[in-house]
Amino acid sequence: MRILVLDSALARRTAAIIADDAVIALRTEAGKQGHETILPAMARDVMAEAGAGIDLVAVTVGPGSFTGIRACLALGHGIGLGHGVPVVGVTVGEAIAVAFPHLGGRDMWVVTESRRGYIFLEQGVDIASLAIAALPEPRRPVAIAGAAAVQVASRLAARGVDVLLTDSRFPLPRHIARVAARRHKGELSPRAAQPLYVDPPEARFPAGGLRPPPETLLR
């Protein structure tokens, strides 16, 4: 199966073609802005380099950057529609966790940065947004991965928690593809390729409500 992977949920954008767990073509670069213009060019380049067609589009749905997630999903759905292939959603935590199948009884925590002083915490199917100063008490020894792993691991270690700090900070394309392929085969629970927003929206309606719609002048 040939899978186009698109990821711009965090401070990095990636496009890749993965076939049978092997990277056929890859473009990736760091950056928090410009996903909506740079990621389409990356996708074009990897598809041209890999040749032939694709069977599936795998997209990261979050948690992460609002703009990055929207840009990735809009592009993924457009390519999926144009090529007549399914689009499958994968969370950042799912893709990182699949790289650690054997943790010796440890729980996996994948932590990514949110708004200032907050993090997203993925523990299996549970995803929460919380203040980094209010980390829960682990029930068992933990392994920590993700972009905020160093900060979280240091805080837990200061409490005396048994912590294993991994070197995984971002999801790798072949791991995103691996989760998407399993989900497509029905081996994992379905996940819509739609934005995963953990925090409530910050936008608020005006105190006086929305403006009324413009009147239509009939002639």
**Structural domain contains residue 150:** yes
- Percent of the chain's residues with pLDDT above 90: 75
Q: What is the DSSP string of 151-219?
A: HHHHHHHHTT--EEE-S--S--HHHHHHHHHHHHTTSS----SS----SPP-----TT-PPPPPPPPP-
**Structural domain contains residue 196:** no
pTM of the model: 0.87
Same domain, 133 and 62: no
Q: What is the domain extent for residue 128? A: 100-165
Same domain, 50 and 87: yes
Q: Token pair for residue 211?
A: 């403006």
Burial class (CB within 10 angstroms; exposed 0-12, middle 13-18, buried 19+) of 172: buried
**Structural domain contains residue 200:** no
Average pLDDT over residues 208-217: 55
Question: Do β-strands 118-123 and 107-113 pair in parallel, antiparallel, or remain unpaired?
Answer: antiparallel
Comparing 15-19, 76-80, 87-91, 196-200, the range with the smallest average pLDDT is: 196-200
| C-beta separation of 90 from 176 below 8 A | yes
Q: Token pair for residue 219?
A: 């002639």
> What is the distance of C-alpha 170 from the center of its chain?
9
211 CB-near residues (< 8 Å, 6+ apart):
none
**Structural domain contains residue 194:** no
**What CATH number does the domain containing 39 carry?**
3.30.420.40
Which candidate, 172, 130, 125, 123, places its Cα nearest to that of 151? 130
161 CB-near residues (< 8 Å, 6+ apart):
137, 138, 141, 142
**Structural domain contains residue 203:** no
Average pLDDT over residues 48-73: 94
Same domain, 160 and 174: no
User: To the nearest 10°, the Cα dihedral for 167, 56, 47, 179?
Assistant: 10
**Structural domain contains residue 21:** yes
| C-beta separation of 3 from 58 below 8 A | yes
Q: Token pair for residue 133?
A: 């100063």
Count of domains in the chain?
2
Same domain, 83 and 117: no
Q: Among all chains, which residue has been given the structure tokens 């392929």?
A: 181
pLDDT for 33: 82
pLDDT for 3: 98
* pLDDT at residue 195 is higher than 60: yes
